[in-house]
Structure 1
Amino acid sequence: MRVFRLKRWVMQNVGFATALLLLFVLLITYNMMHPRGFSSAVAIQNSNEAVAIIFVAMAQTLPVLLGGLDLSVGAIMTLTNCIASEVVNGSPAQMLFGAVLTLLSGSAFGLLNGCIVVYGRIQPIIATLATGAVAIGLALAVRPKPGGNVDDDLSWALTNSVYDLADTYGFADGGDAWWIRPFADIPVPILIVAIVALVVWLPFKRSVTGRTVYAIGSAEGAAYMSGLPINRAKITAFTLGGFLAACGGLYLAIQTSSGNADIQQAGAYTLNSIAAVVLGGTSLLGGSGGAIGSLVGAMILRVISFFFRILDIDPLLQPLIEGFVLLTAVSVGAFRTLRVKNKLDLFR
């Protein structure tokens, strides 16, 4: 019975299952090739490099499920990165206020995107192309030059292991308590991503609004005729996307202790987020997939980049290889259209 259930799940989630298998193979191969593979230090370093793209990919998932694309997620991440570099410092209360302000800023920008798409009746790809430019302009106003001042203890605690977090803030006997020892070597970045996925994404997916997002991507006309809250779902999806992109910007500021209004960085994160979404099994046609799959897709992209260091690939060739990977990933999303015999199936 269990084998039958597993087989049925795999058949229903071929894209996600394939992504999981590919990630497993890549991670095992990478750690076997790394001189210090399968160590906590390597896991911490790699997870730190993956967090920002994971959050941006999760943010991109929401508009893709609706059947569109959000070209502003990288810009929102960059804007919130610059904001966080200004406000996440001082006393614990001030740092908490700064983090909340950063996340609210990203959510507000996502809300703006949703309102423009819904009430302005503009295609998401066009609307977010414009708002992304606005976000970059605001980022340059906040941080004309790279820099910032993020609390050093916070930066250290959230970019290392659970033991370092406990030791920095003096709880659980400084990390020596018996109940924390089994988790002491787990990278804090992994815990942060897991908490956001469990607390934010899963409840949203199971809510009426979340199910409406999937229904819109599958057949918006049918969703409307069913009486589902179409406008509310679209606005909520873009708002949540802004929040998740802000999570990436906030963590990037904590990781680097600085902010940088880098236009190229924003564009690169946006393109990589689309590739990660497709690699994770979410259809560009909308209606199927999820943020967990995008998380896996983002990790696949990062592990591929880790191989560049191990194999000592010429830096001049790395963009070429990354370009082929991105092209292949995005092309996967078009395979369904090549197999469809009746064009009406594309709108179901």
Structure 2
Amino acid sequence: MNGSDIRLFARHNAIPLLAGAVFAAMFVLYLALQPRGVTVGTLVTASNKGVLLALIACAQTLPVLTGGIDLSVGAIAVLANCLASTLLGGSGLSLVGGVAATLAAGALAGGFNAVAVVWGRLQPIIATLATSSIFYGISLLLRPDPGGDINDDFASALTGDIHGIPTTLIILLAVLLLFWLPFRRTLIGRGVYAVGSAEAAAYMSGVRIARSKACAYVLSGVLASLAGLLLTLIAESAQASAIQAGDLTLNAIAAVVIGGTSLFGGIGGLVGSVIGAFILRTIGDLLFVLAASPLWQPLFQGLILLAAVSLGAIPLLRNRNRLESFR
């Protein structure tokens, strides 16, 4: 890359780069203040909590890139959590089947959202708010009481470490490298960005609007179910909690915005959302090591979210024509 390419990259990724710098500073401060020092256990715990929210944020990012939103990602994660708690008690092929069934349930839930939004022509915010209640109701049927039967060895393997590297961090990197980087270069991936940037122009250019939107919601369901699967392995239990579903959804939206993805669509990506998720998690960790009241956490999260939204709005405020922001 020459100097011009670097400047162009920095210009188009200013917010994610800034968010990355903020996260690095916060995490170094957290490790420095950690009373037990930097241990593998500390890194694993931080990774497990951060990756869980990061996967939910990734799930939210795909519909947002199309100019929509998915208020059911938290409910899909809870549904996957309840389903996985009944399927991951065996071993061998039984475990593989349980994981596959959980991810398939997420894809089915995402497909249901796609039908409502794309072919039902309902507003995404209304459609996914309604489907979140449906998914939560199914969760209650699957797990009316908290509990679960999880294979301990399987849970420990996927939430522990490999030579000091948290396993969940490896899983997240695999999602970014094996799914996200190839996906954004495919016709569907480019279609997702095109639809979010200017749907009418994308249609006139031959982009298959319905297919791009539908794939975004289906893949969102798969990523949300992966987060629910991880939640099951971390907690080794499940609970049909509407509060947890709501918190996951709202925190995912916050992470998406902090990571530089525009709620107007067409700008952003999974990497920024991952960084935003880790920032949100690190806020809570910092307040904990500083012995601050948990009541401060929403305040700091709100201030960071407001700063991120303000930075994201700067290009729109500077340009008379909003289309100039998408060059």
Same fold, TM-score > 0.5, yes or no: yes
* Partner AA of 2:88 in structure 1: V
Task: Give TM-score, length-normalised by structure 1.
Answer: 0.89
Q: 2-side partners of 1:9 and 1:346: how far apart? A: 15
Q: Is 1:185 matched with 2:161?
A: no
Identity of aligned residues (%): 46
CA contact (8 A) 1:73 1:245 kept: yes
Kindly indicate whether the alpha-carbon contact (under 8 Å) linking 2:258 and 2:305 is maintained by their aligned counterparts in 1: no
d(CA) in 2 for partners of 1:243, 1:48: 19
**Letter paired with 1:259:** A
2:239 counterpart letter in structure 1? N
What is the aligned partner in structure 2 of residue 64 from structure 1? 64
1:298 equivalent in structure 2:
277
Contact 2:85 2:149 in 1 (8 A): yes
- Counterpart of 1:93? 93
| TM-score, normalised via structure 2 length | 0.94
Match of 1:307 in 2: 286
One-letter code of the match for 1:242?
G
Regions of 4+ moved over 2 Å? 1-8, 35-39, 315-348
Structure-1 residue corresponding to 2:193: 214
Structure 2 Cα separation of the partners of residues 344 and 96 of structure 1: 47
The structural deviation recorded for 1:346 is: 7.9
- In structure 2, what is the equivalent of residue 181 of structure 1? none
Structure 1: tracts of 5 or more residues without a match: 163-183
Indicate the larger mover: 224-233 or 310-319.
310-319
Letter in 2 for 1:286: G
RMSD, matched Cα: 1.9
Contact preservation (8 Å) 1:280, 1:296:
yes
Match of 2:228 in 1: 249
C-alpha distance in structure 1 between counterparts of 2:322 and 2:69, whole Å: 21
User: SS state of the match for residue 135, structure 2?
Assistant: helix
Q: Once the 2 structures are TM-superposed, how far is the Cα of residue 311 of structure 1 from its aligned partner?
A: 0.8
The alignment partner of 1:295 has SS state of helix
The structural deviation recorded for 1:7 is 3.0
Name the SS for the 2:206 alignment partner. coil
Which residue does the alignment assign to 1:148?
148
Query: Counterparts of 1:326 and 1:206 in 2: how far apart (Å)?
Result: 29
Judging changes above 3 Å, is the alpha-carbon distance between structure 1 residues 342 and 3 closer, same or farther for their aligned structure 2 residues? Answer: closer
| Structure 2 residues without counterparts, runs of 5 or longer | none
Residue of structure 1 aligned with 2:208, choices 226, 229, 233: 229
Are residue 279 (structure 1) and residue 268 (structure 2) matched? no
8 Å Cα contact 1:275-1:330 kept in structure 2: no
Mapped contact 2:197–2:326 kept (Cα < 8 A)? yes
- Report the CA distance between 1:317 and its aligned residue: 3.6
Q: Deviations over 1:2-58 (max 9, x none)?
A: 555433321221111111111111111111111234332211110011121110000
Aligned residues of 1:272 and 1:326 also touching (Cα < 8 A): no
The count of corresponding residues between Structure 1 and Structure 2 is: 327
- 2:19 corresponds to which letter in structure 1? A
1:320 & 1:279 partners in 2: Cα distance? 15
Q: Does 1:203 align with 2:177?
A: no
